[in-house]
Chain A
Amino acid sequence: DTAVSQTPKYLVTQMGNDKSIKCEQNLGHDTMYWYKQDSKKFLKIMFSYNNKELIINETVPNRFSPKSPDKAHLNLHINSLELGDSAVYFCASSQASQAAYEQYFGPGTRLTVT
Chain B
Amino acid sequence: LAKTTQPISMDSYEGQEVNITCSHNNIATNDYITWYQQFPSQGPRFIIQGYKTKVTNEVASLFIPADRKSSTLSLPRVSLSDTAVYYCLVSLYNQGGKLIFGQGTELSVKP
Contact = CB atoms under 8 A, between A and B. Distances in A.
Interface of A: 4, 33, 40-45, 48, 55-56, 90, 92, 97-100, 102-108
A86 to B, nearest CB: 16
5 contacts: A44-B101, A55-B96, A90-B43, A99-B91, A105-B36
CB-CB nearest 9 A-B residue pairs: A105-B43, A99-B91, A102-B46, A99-B32, A43-B101, A45-B99, A105-B44, A41-B104, A90-B43
Nearest to A40: B103
B42 A108 contact: yes
B104 A42 contact: yes
B104 A43 contact: yes
Interface of B: 30-32, 34, 36, 38, 41-46, 49, 85, 87, 91-93, 96-99, 101, 103-104, 106
B43 A56 contact: no
B41 to A, nearest CB: 7
Contact of A56 (B42, B93, B96, B101): B96
A59 B71 CA distance: 27
Contact of A107 (B42, B98, B106): B42
Contact of B41 (A44, A48, A102, A108): A108
Given A92-B43, A100-B32, A108-B43, A56 B98 contact: yes
A40 B43 CA distance: 15
